Amino acid sequence: MRPAINVGISVSRVGGNAQIKSMKKVAGTLKLDQAQYRELEAFSKFGSDLDAATKSVLDKGSRNVEILKQGQYSPLTVEKQVAIIYCGTKGLLREVPIKEVRNFEKDYLNVLDAQYRSTLDAIKKGEFNDQITGVLEKVAKELVAKYAAK
């Protein structure tokens, strides 16, 4: 599978203006993070002795690539995209094995949809505040514990 978007290419100058406010807030660093990841990924192929900071960037980037993937004909709603991208950009998936990121994402979004629909609805309206991030982080931490134990 390939990522649903290529974060290295800007679609148009209007792109950012067409996003809802909550997406702008969570995806602000995504393009820069992924550019740094791609650069280090290429560099790391030539050297095997990587420092902790480099490994951290590579691990985060690998997980972000996984969350950006979408199955054909199964797009995510914008509020679900915001929720999972928030997890990726904030490093909340650090303890989830890369091979389990897609399963984590599915479970995470299902829990939000079933138990915190009002939070997703607020994100869809463009809202993004401490209460919303608190819910996103709480659910993520609960599920990360399940996946980290595997």
| Residue 108: partners with Cβ closer than 8 Å, 6 or more residues away | 83, 84, 87, 139, 140, 143
List, as own/partner pairs, every contact residues 93-97 make where C-beta atoms lie below 8 angstroms and the sequence separation is at least 24, other chains included: 93/60, 93/63, 93/67, 93/140, 93/144, 94/59, 94/60, 94/63, 95/144, 95/147, 95/148, 96/63, 96/144, 96/147, 96/148, 97/147, 97/150
Catalytic residues: 13
